[in-house]
């Protein structure tokens, strides 16, 4: 029998009841959250408090203490430990302990896997969720293990942790007090660099301590490393102001879009001339990008007098873009305006004196994404990208149209994983749209959303209730309710920009002209 496996088996057998307890607590926390997500009213706050205690306090503490539980049976800082006098090499013991810890890390994932699978996580999402859950456990382990390997007993472990926490707190307190006047907000790049440097430093120190303890059992050296690392981490947390990482990419770089493209055209029909201005998003797929914000343009005579100056479009261009997006219209509606020139005098003058054209667009490049697609029927539940959408009721309202009451919650958070939209900010409610879509007919109807009651975020669960109204008459109701899909779209803000385009001589004879914005700036 493999001796490493034999040690692993011994440890798991020893911790079996604690592991069962842990699994029960994990399940209980999830069950509580699931119960909450089904509740329609905010009057069940005690449940949220229980979930908060379970999720935020008890579980991390249990996970932290379990690390000592694993290490405590074969202490590497006690010269009277049983294993030292037996034919067990330090490297074998280290390997066995790593395997036991890895087994522990898998338990939250094992408990939550049925939930994830039941909520439609595909293989990739499942892997991400497991990775997220495991990395959380791994972070706890990296925090606890250095203390565990220098402690011969559980009481010493908790004493060491308490001492380190108190020392760190005192350090930060003294620093903050002594730098009270000079306290200045760090730039985001410095905070990001700090967020990498401190865990990196701690991980390196933890690895050194673990190796020193297992291979040489020089506890004093390990304590010195631990104390130094802790002090260094505290100092860095207080005083770090360097930007190690390159500055954040501008919107143009992020999107790989050189600049928006302006398409100008003029058409003459009889005595009328129409100037058509359209905006696209360069080399970016149109269906993934919408440009919103103030767009102004003007046509100026050679003597600098202005004959057209107005906003380019009205309404919500992002909603238009999202509408095209949900319909799968890859060309996208773009943003465009037509300006008729009925004034014969101006038209004649334009033919002889080509005006200058100048457009300025200040806006935000938005990245649209479908979050959920469900049939608008009562009780339908769908899940995509970490969103749980449940339609409570579908009501025909003769004054307003189709009214859908929707409960939304985030099951990723319920199940302990981070949102599956890894690395991306969650959409803000102002940038969410609800559409009724009939793809076969190429029609999309934008609904108005209104929050009902309170939106709750407590414990592991975020929960909200909304009323969606789609304006339609009674005849339309049956048609849309039967075959349409309710689509929720979120638009993520990829960064603000300003771009201008100038055409020195825009003549009507030059029927069409494409111009890439010049002088685009991305603050």
Partner 1 sequence: MNIIETQQLSRRYGRAEALHSLDLAVPAGSVFAFIGPNGAGKTTTIKVLMNLLEPTGGQARVLGVDSRKLTPRERRQIGYVSENQKLPDWMTVDQLMRYCRPFYPTWDRDLEKKLLHQFELPADRKLKLLSRGMLMKTALLSSLAYRPKLLVLDEPFSGLDPLVRDEFIKGALEVSQQEEWTIFISSHDINEVEQLADRVGIIDGGRLQLAEPIAELQGRFRRIEVTAGGEDLSLADLPETWLEVERAGNFVRAIESRCSDERLAGYRQGRLAEVEFTAKPMTLREIFVVLARVNRVKAGQAAA
Q: Judged by CB under 8 A, which stretch of 2-10, 117-125, 269-277, 391-399 contacts partner 1?
A: 2-10
Indicate which single residue of 53, 89, 162, 377 sits in contact with partner 1 (rule: CB under 8 A).
Answer: 89
Assigned token pair, 31: 């069950």
Binding flag, residue 426, partner 1 (CB under 8 A):
no
Q: How many CB atoms lie within 10 A of CB 25?
A: 16
Binding region for partner 1 (CB under 8 A) out of 87-95, 204-212, 330-338, 356-364: 87-95
3-class SS at 127?
Answer: helix
- Site for partner 1 contains 81 (CB under 8 A): yes
Residue 331 and residue 263 in contact, taking contact as beta carbons nearer than 8 Å: no
The answer to whether 17 contacts partner 1 (rule: CB under 8 A) is: no
By CB under 8 A, tell whether 6 contacts partner 1.
yes
169: Cβ–Cβ under 8 A, 6 or more apart, which residues? none
- 406 three-class SS: strand
Q: Report d(CA 91, CA 270) in Å as an integer.
A: 90
- Note whether 84 binds partner 1 by CB under 8 A: yes
Smallest distance, partner 1 to C-beta of residue 85, A: 4
Q: Is 155 in the site for partner 1 (CB under 8 A)?
A: no
Phi-psi category of 262—alpha, beta or left, where left has phi over 0 and alpha has psi -120 to 50? beta
DSSP per-residue string spanning 191-235? HHHHHHHHHHHHHHHHHHHHHHHHHT--HHHHHHHHHHHHHHHHH
366 contact partners, CB below 8 Å, separation of at least 6:
289, 290, 291, 292, 318, 321, 431, 491, 492, 493, 494
Residue 188, Cβ density class (10 Å: 0-12 exposed, 13-18 middle, ≥19 buried): exposed
Q: How far is the CB of 223 from partner 1 (least distance, A)?
A: 16
Question: Residue 19 CB, nearest distance to partner 1 (Å)?
Answer: 15
- Beta carbon nearer to partner 1, 14 or 243: 14
How near is the Cβ of 154 to partner 1 at its closest, in Å? 13
Among residues 10, 356, 438, 522, which is the contact residue for partner 1, using CB under 8 A?
Answer: 10
Q: Which residues of 445-460 are buried (b: 16+ CB within 10 A; e: fewer)?
A: bbbebeeeeeebebbb
Measure the CA–CA gap between 142 and 139, rounded to whole angstroms.
5
> Which of 23, 50, 88, 154 touches partner 1 by CB under 8 A?
88
Least Å distance, CB 151 to partner 1, is 14
At closest approach, how far in Å is the CB of 68 from partner 1? 15
Site for partner 1 in 91-150 (CB under 8 A): 92
Q: What does the alpha-carbon distance between residue 159 and residue 126 come to, in Å, rounded to a whole number? A: 38
Q: Is 39 in the site for partner 1 (CB under 8 A)?
A: no
Distance, CA of 83 to CA of 88 (rounded, Å) = 6
Q: How far is the CB of 423 from partner 1 (least distance, A)?
A: 44
Between 40 and 78, name the residue whose CB sits nearer to partner 1.
Answer: 78
- Please tell me the distance from the alpha carbon of residue 491 to that of residue 497, in angstroms, as a whole number: 16
- Residue 1 sits in the site that holds partner 1 (CB under 8 A): yes
| Beta pairing partners, 47 | none
Residue 14 as a binder of partner 1 (CB under 8 A): the answer is yes
Q: Find the shortest distance in angstroms from Cβ 153 to partner 1.
A: 9
CA-to-CA distance for 281 and 284, rounded, in angstroms?
A: 6
Number of residues that bind partner 1 (CB under 8 A): 18
Q: Which of 86, 181, 184, 475 binds partner 1 (CB under 8 A)?
A: 86
Residue with tokens 């008459």: 473
Segment 51 to 80, residues that bind partner 1, using CB under 8 A: 73, 78-80
- Is residue 41 close enough to count as binding partner 1 by CB under 8 A? no
The residue among 80 and 509 lying less far from partner 1, judged by its C-beta, is 80
Binding segment toward partner 1, per CB under 8 A, in 83-91, 356-364, 456-464, 481-489: 83-91
* Cβ at position 16, least distance to partner 1 in Å: 11
Phi, psi of 94 (to 5 degrees): -60, -45
State yes or no: residue 331 binds partner 1 (CB under 8 A): no
8 A C-beta contact, residue 294 and residue 303:
no
Closest to partner 1 by CB, 90 or 422: 90
- Residue 84 or 102 having the CB closest to partner 1: 84
Note the residues at the interface with partner 1 (CB under 8 A): 1, 3, 6, 10, 14, 73, 78-82, 84-89, 92
């Amino acid at each position: 029998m493999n001796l490493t496996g034999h040690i692993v088996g011994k440890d798991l057998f020893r911790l079996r009841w604690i592991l069962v307890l842990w699994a029960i607590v994990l399940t209980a926390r999830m069950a509580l959250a699931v119960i909450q997500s089904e509740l329609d009213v905010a009057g069940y706050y005690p449940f949220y408090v229980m979930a908060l205690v379970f999720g935020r306090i008890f579980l991390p503490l249990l996970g932290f203490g379990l690390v000592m539980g694993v290490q405590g049976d074969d202490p590497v800082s006690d010269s009277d430990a049983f294993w030292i006098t037996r034919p067990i090499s330090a490297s074998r013991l280290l390997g066995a302990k790593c395997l036991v810890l890895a087994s522990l890390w898998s338990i939250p994932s094992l408990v939550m896997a049925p939930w994830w699978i039941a909520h439609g996580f595909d293989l990739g999402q499942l892997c991400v969720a497991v990775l997220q859950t495991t990395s959380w456990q791994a972070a706890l382990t990296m925090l606890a293990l250095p203390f565990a390997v220098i402690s011969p007993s559980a009481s010493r472990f908790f004493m060491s942790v308490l001492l380190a926490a108190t020392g760190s707190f005192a350090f930060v307190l003294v620093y903050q007090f002594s730098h009270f006047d000079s306290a200045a907000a760090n730039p985001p790049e410095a905070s990001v660099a700090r967020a990498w440097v401190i865990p990196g430093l701690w991980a390196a120190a933890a690895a050194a301590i673990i190796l020193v303890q297992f291979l040489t059992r020089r506890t004093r050296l390990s304590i010195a490393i631990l104390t130094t690392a802790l002090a260094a981490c505290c100092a860095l947390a207080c005083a770090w102001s360097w930007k190690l990482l390159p500055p954040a990419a501008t919107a143009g770089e992020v999107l790989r879009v050189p600049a928006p493209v302006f398409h100008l055209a003029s058409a003459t029909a009889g005595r009328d001339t129409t100037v058509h201005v359209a905006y696209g998003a360069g080399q970016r797929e149109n269906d993934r990008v919408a440009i919103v914000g103030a767009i102004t343009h003007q046509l100026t005579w050679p003597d600098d007098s202005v004959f057209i100056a107005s906003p380019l479009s009205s309404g919500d261009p992002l909603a238009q873009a999202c509408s095209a997006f949900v319909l799968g219209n890859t060309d996208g509606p773009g943003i465009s305006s037509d300006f008729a020139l009925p004034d014969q005098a101006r038209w004649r003058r334009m033919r002889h004196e080509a005006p200058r054209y100048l457009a300025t667009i200040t806006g935000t490049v938005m990245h649209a994404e479908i979050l959920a697609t469900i049939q608008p029927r009562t009780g339908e539940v769908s899940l995509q990208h970490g969103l749980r959408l449940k339609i409570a009721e579908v009501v025909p309202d003769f004054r307003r149209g189709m009214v859908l009451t929707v409960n939304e919650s985030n099951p990723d958070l319920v199940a302990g994983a981070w949102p599956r939209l890894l690395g991306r900010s969650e959409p803000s409610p102002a940038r969410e749209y609800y559409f009724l879509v009939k793809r076969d007919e190429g029609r999309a109807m934008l609904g108005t959303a209104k929050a009902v009651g309170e939106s709750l975020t407590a414990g592991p669960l975020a929960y909200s209730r909304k009323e969606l109204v789609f304006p339609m008459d009674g005849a339309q109701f049956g048609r849309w309710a039967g075959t349409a899909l309710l689509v929720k779209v979120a638009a993520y803000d990829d960064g603000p920009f300003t771009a201008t385009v100038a055409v020195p001589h825009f003549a009507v004879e030059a029927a069409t002209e494409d111009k890439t914005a010049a002088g685009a700036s991305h603050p």
